[in-house]
Structure 1
Amino acid sequence: MAMSLKKIGAIAVGGAMVATALASGVSAEVTVIGEVSKDIFVKDGQPNCYVVVGANAPSTMDVVSAADVAAAIGSLCYKESTVDTGKACLDVHVCSKSDDELIYDHGTLLTEPTIFITASDSDYADDLVSNLGVLDVNDMKDLQNIPMYNAQVSSEYALVSKILEDLGNPTLSITFNINERTITNAKLNINQDNINGNELLNDIKLALGEDEYNKFIDAILSKDPTKSDIVVNIVDNGDGTYTVTIDLQKVIEKLKTVMDTRISLGSMGTMLKIDDIDPSDWYDIDDDAGEVLAVIVKPDPNDPESYVIDKKDALYMSLAYLDGESNPLLTRCIDKGMVIPFLGSSWTVGKVDADDDYILLGKCVYSDVMQEGTVYDLGNGYQVKVSNILQDIPQNVAKVKVEILKNGQVVKSEFKEAPFTLYYKEGDIAVVVHKAWQNIPQQTGFAELKILTNCKELDLGKEYVPDWKIYAVVMDNNKLVLSKDIKTGDCVVGIALRYEGDKLDGLENGDELSFPEDYAVFKFDDEDKKDRLYVYYSMDTTKSICLKPGQEQPILNADIKLNEIEANAIKPCPVSTPIAKLDTEISLDAADKNLVLIGGPVANKLTKELVDMGKISLDNDSPATIAVIPGAANGHDVVVVAGGDRYKTREAAKYLIEKLAELE
């Protein structure tokens, strides 16, 4: 029965082909005649032979052996070149430390729950301390024990202190309106430069806390000064305004207590800050994003010389905010395609999914315009294709069909109006389509998009790592709220990880709390000083980054750019001409390369010619044989792989494949 290589699959060799059906070891003895050397099969990284199988071979086993030998030879093929493309993967290691704070000095200094904050920007850390009311009291459980509400301290209670110093008087009268229990239009009843009554009331609100502030309002509305311990006198002016005399000394004492329970430890210079979260100008903004760490420390009620970090009392946040601003109230809602930090690395936002409550992050490998019909190769068999774009001119909208392919087969596709995100979870690939259009004649379409790989789906409310849960940070009524149930229209300004493990008590010198992925630690350290204890944040971490030539990415607050790659390298070389042939396609007299003949004289006519010429002796009783016959094919060498039957031929082929592997 005649066989065709096309019918059984063309036997071609490429860098990606792997030999199949290889046995480990050969059970029968194999007779080897001559020297089996690498240059018979491969020369200068290219195939130097043809593998020849009989067109009329009585068994397909010879064809399988030919395919396996061809693939094994292919694995030896390479070419040496100077590499100037590809990518380089680097490990970046950093060490850093925040400011420290003394909490024990021959006796307890820290007597109230105190929050310690550091950030990638010292101004942001300081302003977050001054404006910590933006954190919802339910987000860090013990914040309700610290009177922090939505009010900004005027340079750490400097305003009320200045008034008191200038007046030399512990009381002050202020006139204002009250509308639905909210004070507005406050005016000081004395002439003071650079002092605003509303700013003063913000300080008062912060100093009192929510409960006492409500008592303050009740005292005014009922005209009963005894309901608030800071009110001296109340006068209803009869025109909707009130003049209230306030004991500023008490306000200062309360405000100082508040300020002493929240402390900025400045910045850690290695925490990541993104200076432009919209590098592709999709949203025409130039805003920033940075990282924040916060831990609440409390005295241990069971040990006056140790401390406690309770469940929900440690927080990591990645926040987006307006360009150049450090006020945490001036945040920016994140959206598809923006770049934000997450645990020291820069990530591109794939989507914020309000239906399934997750935030998708990925590493951007392509950010540009793709023409309709073009394909981007991601490697590992994956490709992204913009297959079709249709534009409705009257409606000025364009629909885009984007496909993700694996080994040429579509595994995920979407055909809809931009913007949208196509996410293939099984391959950790996402395509973020920003917009699409057609050229003027409507002949060609274009899509502006980003392709993300190594995607991670942050499931809100679920553990990211043991003891740390992931949340969206939502700006809601001027407060940063941690949410595991986001809704369409929510202003998600960042991502948070909150400690939700067991209470850590008895904390003393040498103890620490590690943030996820060992990104940073919060330490208790005596710094080799007797009867003293300090707290601070430190970082000793390594992050990996892969870059293509010309690409630049921030990592651990350093911008890493790969200018070029220059190296000598060996890489697999695809073979364009098949090295497998039928014995009807080649002759001994016309061969232009060495020949590897698979099969004995019955299966392969070229082997029979050699037997008839007396170059080799083979019959039905021959063992598995590999014979090298120099110059037998038009001056080129011949390797015969054969035996007395098809099984012996198969054993000889397996043995040759093992020998080829040893030659790599």
Structure 2
Amino acid sequence: MKSVLKKIGCILFGSTLLSTSFMAVYALEKYGNVNDFLDDDLVKNGNPDVYIVVGENSAALDVTSANQISAKIGTLTYSEIVIEEESTVEYQIIGKSESINLLDGTDKLDSTGTEKSWILVTAADDSYSNYFNNDEGNSFSYSGFSEADQTKSLGEFGYLLELDDMDPENHFESDDDATEIIFTRIIDSNKNVNSQTFDIGKDMVYASIIYPNQVSAFKLSKELKEGYEIPFLGDRYRIVKIDENEGIIYLGTPSYDGTIEQNEYISLGEYQVVLGEILESEDKYSVQISVLRNGKIIKEHTEILSSDKSFSFIAGGIGVTVHDVWLNSAADTGYADITICKSILELELGEEYIDDWEVRTVNNNGGTIDFLKTYEDSAVGIALVYTGSDVERIKDGDKLEIADYVKLVFDDEDDLDKMIAQYKAERTVTTGSTGGTVITQSGKVPEVILDIEIELDEADKNLILIGGPVANKLTEELQNDGKINIDNESPATAILVEGAANGNDVLVVAGGDRYSTESAVLSIINLI
């Protein structure tokens, strides 16, 4: 017996799927011990003990309803382990870059009668920041920055986060890297030797940039992809979804990353993600995923995949990325590599993420780094660009906040010939379990089958029949035997016929038309 048959799959992929959140639930007429059946007979020994049956020629709404009930029953099959102990560790992360004296040397920042400016750059590893140093002779320039006389590397800033592998689960067979980088342009404000006062315009940028893992050169030639792991303000995130049309990049922290079989689901606290059947036709794959929140379907997403075999979407407070799908050798069971992320961050390009810091993409445009408000294929990173008022008359003891993350600190060390600039930062990190953490395991959803695939006198499980006698031949058989009575005028109805399927119970969920049938289904879902 096939689960979620190709006939059902084809109807699903061609129809508009309706979420329960948009449908009203009307009064349900119940006959027999419906509530007891829903409470006690849907799951046995942690596995579904019921088939969901729809008619071969059912309307798309009946098929959708069958999948909704199947997904809801599946939520009853997972187990939970609660960690009661409390075990946490707090530690400080403290870091500082190299320092530079803005008033030292023949090329010092301030010069009599001449306004000069430097870009100070630091990164998690000095190989990245040194690449931008003018002394290295590299050709990168910075569109959006006012023209600067020189770029000065402040070397390694260990506080910033570097990832040695953007692909920890090997979805892309890549070991490329990512790093955080800070750019700040400082301007001589007085044009006098040893003035010790400086200005900073709107030329401060925090960036998270990806790049190929090449020892010989730092090249900005990688492009952002859904599924990459990148740093952002000191934490690791996956790129969950890139919405180019809306100009939004979604980041999240992975809660599940692995392979699941069709009709299985993963439960993450209040959310459950169900993988429907994977169908193959002419080298294309159709896959349907349902997302539930506390047992109610909030999104059903269907995608037809070609050679790239990947897609992502956001549902409520989670993000789902399907990296790859395939069928087994018998072509009767589908599998998917899937990542589910929580703690979603929505980065809208051109909008403030924090006060005075606007989200942009980092783009490598032929050697010029652009910080754009739109998404282009040349995007190699994510940036926060300062858009506040110019910062003027910087002097000894001043500290500039960079994206509420690090500080650029100025110190003259009580010497008129010095003005030391240095990036510094510190924060407290807590690791471990604080108790009460719920760990959920994957479960199974009931099979959804067609009425032509099963006989009442051969059933080995309980049955839920979707649709009246016109739509479902098993419902028609029960009607002809006088065990139920449903006609075109029937409201939303649920009838339990005990022992009618080879000794197993049968629940008929139907109405006088497809809409009253759907209303009956939604009522049943609320009772499960």
2:488 is the alignment partner of 1:482: no
Offset, 1:453: 0.5
1:509 to 382, 396, 399: 396
Counterpart residue type for residue 119 of structure 2 = I
Counterpart residue type for residue 421 of structure 1 = S
Identity of matched residues, %: 28
Indicate the RMSD between aligned Cα atoms, in angstroms: 3.4
State the partner residue of 1:100.
99
Aligned length: 355
State the partner residue of 2:383.
496
Contact 1:128 1:327 in 2 (8 A): no
Offset, 1:308: 0.4
Q: Structure 2: give runs of 5+ residues left out of the alignment.
A: 1-32, 40-80, 111-115, 439-528
The C-alpha deviation readout for 1:422-469, integer Å capped at 9, x for no partner, is 212xx3211000111111222211111100101111101111111111
State the partner residue of 1:372.
262
1:335 and 1:86 mapped to 2: Cα distance?
Answer: 38
The C-alpha deviation readout for 1:323-357, integer Å capped at 9, x for no partner, is 14474434311211110111111110112221111
2:412 to 504, 507, 526: 526
The equivalences for 1:608-627 within 5 A come to: none
State the partner residue of 1:405.
292
1:359 and 1:570 mapped to 2: Cα distance?
Answer: 29
The C-alpha deviation readout for 1:137-157, integer Å capped at 9, x for no partner, is x322x1x243xxxxxxxxxxx
Offset, 1:491: 2.4
Contact 1:131 1:328 in 2 (8 A): no
2:365 is the alignment partner of 1:361: no
1:290 to 151, 170, 179: 179
Contact 2:163 2:230 in 1 (8 A): yes
Task: State which structure, 1 or 2, has the greater radius of gyration over its C-alpha atoms.
Answer: 1
Contact 2:159 2:426 in 1 (8 A): no
Offset, 1:284: 1.4
2:201 to 290, 310, 314: 310
The C-alpha deviation readout for 1:275-297, integer Å capped at 9, x for no partner, is 01011222211111111111111
Offset, 1:115: 0.9
Q: Secondary structure at the match of 1:452?
A: strand
State the partner residue of 1:271.
160
The C-alpha deviation readout for 1:549-606, integer Å capped at 9, x for no partner, is xxxxxxxxxxxxxxxx9x9x899xxxxxxxxxxxxxxxxxxxxxxxxxxxxxxxxxxx
2:354 is the alignment partner of 1:472: no
State the partner residue of 1:536.
422
Report the CA distance shift for 1:88/1:377 in structure 2 as closer, same or farther (over 3 A). farther
2:349 is the alignment partner of 1:460: yes
Q: Secondary structure at the match of 2:338?
A: strand
2:231 and 2:338 mapped to 1: Cα distance?
Answer: 20
Offset, 1:545: 5.8
The equivalences for 1:79-478 within 5 A come to: 92-104=91-103, 109-111=108-110, 112-129=116-133, 130=136, 133-136=139-142, 138-140=143-145, 142=146, 144-146=147-149, 261-301=150-190, 304-311=195-202, 313-325=203-215, 327-379=217-269, 381-392=270-281, 395-416=282-303, 417=305, 418-424=309-315, 427-478=316-367
The C-alpha deviation readout for 1:395-431, integer Å capped at 9, x for no partner, is 222211111101211101211123111212xx32110
Give TM-score scaled by structure 2 length: 0.61
Q: Secondary structure at the match of 1:123?
A: helix
Report the CA distance shift for 1:88/1:330 in structure 2 as closer, same or farther (over 3 A). farther
2:252 and 2:343 mapped to 1: Cα distance?
Answer: 6
Q: Which runs of 4+ in 1 moved over 6 A?
A: 6-10, 82-89, 105-108
Contact 1:134 1:329 in 2 (8 A): no
Counterpart residue type for residue 405 of structure 2 = Y
1:132 and 1:470 mapped to 2: Cα distance?
Answer: 27
Contact 1:366 1:451 in 2 (8 A): yes
1:462 and 1:277 mapped to 2: Cα distance?
Answer: 26
Contact 2:241 2:313 in 1 (8 A): no
2:167 and 2:329 mapped to 1: Cα distance?
Answer: 28
2:268 and 2:277 mapped to 1: Cα distance?
Answer: 20
Contact 2:220 2:364 in 1 (8 A): no
Give TM-score scaled by structure 1 length: 0.49
Q: Secondary structure at the match of 1:278?
A: coil
Bigger Cα displacement from structure 2, 290-299 vs 328-337: 328-337
The C-alpha deviation readout for 1:227-271, integer Å capped at 9, x for no partner, is xxxxxxxxxxxxxxxxxxxxxxxxxxxxxxxxxx22111111121
2:326 and 2:437 mapped to 1: Cα distance?
Answer: 42
Offset, 1:522: 0.7
Contact 1:474 1:493 in 2 (8 A): yes
Counterpart residue type for residue 464 of structure 1 = Y
